[in-house]
Amino acid sequence: MGLKKLVLDVLKPIREPTLVTLAKNLSKVNGVREVSIVVSEMDVETVTLVVTINGDDIDYEEVESTLRELGVALHSVDEVVFESEVTEESEEAGEG
């Protein structure tokens, strides 16, 4: 359960890290199952990316830390999907 999906708008230097390096490092974050990166804009020194991360109980703090360590700036969090755990108790409360 927990955090299932993040869509992030990020800015990285033109040369390093490569998209593959960024994706590999983000895929190592706890709870991450899939990373998709799309280039949305390029200029002389930077690349703007849309990073989509899917998984189960994604560790958001670790995502932020990984981006920082790679020199990638987080501009915004554009989408979040969070799934809460449904228990028998909460299901019974909904039936009343």
Domain boundaries, the chain: 2-95
Q: Inform me whether the pLDDT recorded for 1 exceeds 90.
A: no
pLDDT at site 86: 74
pLDDT score, position 89: 63
Nearest to 6 by CA among 84, 83, 80: 80
Instruction: Tell me the three state secondary structure of residue 93.
Output: helix
| Summary mean pLDDT of the chain | 93
User: Does the structural domain 2-95 have CATH classification 3.10.200.10?
Assistant: no
Q: pTM of the prediction?
A: 0.86
The whole-number pLDDT of residue 34 equals 98
